[in-house]
Amino acid sequence: MIIVFGSINIDLLMSVSSLPAPGETVLTHEMQRSPGGKGANQAIASQRAGSKTKFVGCVGSDSDADEALSLLRYQEVDISSVLFSDRSTGCAIVLVDNNGENMITVASGANLDIQADQVDGTELEDSSVLLLQQEVPLEQNIKLATRAHQTDTKVVYNFAPAGKLSEELFSVIDYLIVNEVEASTIMTPSIYDHPVEIAKTLCHEYGVTVVITLGSEGALAVSKTTLAEVPAPSVKVVDTTGSGDTFCGYFAAEIAKGSTSIESCLEVAIRAASVACTRYGAQSGIPHRHDVF
């Protein structure tokens, strides 16, 4: 089983001709609402990839909570440990331009009340992968990852959105997933011109397998023994909003299935993320496994 510990939001999606510059107002014809949040998205992705998944998060005691949880329920993701808070359910405003690029702002709300002890010790021991992101309090990620590190559970950490670097957290994870911007944030001030060099440095410094996604160029990974670079298939991009979360969920699912080839994990995750780019919406765009192969 995969445990995904992370955020859950309501996404307010708006299609615009171009993303606004500072001080600019951009008009759009309509707004769509849908469930979202990096944690919830990645839980949907790992479940659709074929791995039994439990999502652990926190929603508000408000009308948005049911909507935020709706697709997790529909996909039969285990949400029995979701906590209800007095804060409002998290909300994200997502702008997507004609090229499929996006701009996102998140009001964390109830996500700030998530607690590591929502995950039962026995469940953690019985799980093969713990998947984390950065839209919930860092100290709770550290507490849960530290507990997982004391078991055989592999910890996959998606450093997104980029934020404060925690040496303590990096010491108890097995896989680090970042995009190019997030990778350069960790290495600031960066003296490296190529993502491979950044990955090698991070791997050497922290002893973890480092995965860097490269958008339309694919992804690469560096472990203590392996360097793998996998290109992405050419697709017509509609919306990139859920592609990173799709990649993380599918990558975690491959690890949970016992794949020992980092290159194979990359290939599956990239194919799934590429399909997600051809669809609109974060959770609605995440493909099922039969759509990928």
What residues are annotated to the active site? 245
Q: 155 forms bridges with which residues in the sheet?
A: 130
Helix (H, G, I), strand (E, B) or coil at 9: strand
Distance of CA 60 to the CA centre of its chain: 21
CA atoms of 241 and 123, how far apart (whole Å): 31
User: If you ran DSSP here, which 8-state letter would residue 21 be given?
Assistant: P
Strands 90-96 and 83-85: unpaired
Element (H, E) at 93: strand 90-96
* Helix runs in the chain, H state only: 38-48, 63-74, 121-126, 138-149, 167-170, 180-186, 195-206, 243-256, 262-277, 289-292
Q: How many helices (H) and strands (E) does the chain have?
A: 10, 14
CA atoms of 33 and 43, how far apart (whole Å): 19
- The percent helix, strand, coil of the chain (3-state, each to 5) is 35, 25, 40
Q: Measuring CA to CA, how many Å separate 273 from each of 140, 200, 223, 291?
A: 28, 24, 22, 11
Strands 58-60 and 53-56: unpaired
45, 124 Cβ separation under 8 angstroms? no
